[in-house]
Amino acid sequence: MADHRARRRRDGAVRSDRGSKALSLGVGVAGALVVGVIGAIGGGMLRDVMLSLSFSFLHVGTLYAVAAGAGTAALVLLAELGTPIPIAGVVCLTVTTLVRLAAVRFDWTFPEQFVVRPRRPQAPPRAEGGRLGAGSAESD
């Protein structure tokens, strides 16, 4: 089981380099971020299907996609600043791994979802004795 956890940690890092491919195709910074994160999540889903595991990015409170996004953002930023892609890729791998390991080590999670129920409308105040006021249709 520990082997599966290690694969999950590094998989998001390796897959978020899809942002460099998106940049080379000219989709822009926002497109590269989206492609990188989707590539990381999609690769993780494929791995989970092949290993018959539940999808890791769907676990409540995990920072799986956030780690992939942070790594992709680092890669895109460095590429835009003119850093060679192999160096930006290593930084991407490092950032993604550090964010994911820190989230696991320090138990960083998103808050769990909860149901928000609308408040019931309050009934209008009644007159003394439980009857409606003198001007109502019932008092005529």
Q: Is the pTM of this model over 0.95?
A: no
Instruction: State how far the alpha carbon of 116 is from the alpha carbons of 46, 109, 113, 119, in Å.
Output: 34, 20, 9, 9
Residues 38/89/99/101 CA torsion (nearest 10 deg): 100
Q: How do residues 102-119 score in pLDDT, each as one tens digit? A: 988 888 877 766 667 777
Q: Which residue has tokens 């999609």?
A: 42
Q: How do residues 81-90 score in pLDDT, each as one tens digit? A: 999 988 988 9
Judged against a pLDDT cut of 70, whether residue 66 lies above it is answered with yes
- Looking at the chain, the whole-number percentage of residues with pLDDT higher than 70 is 69
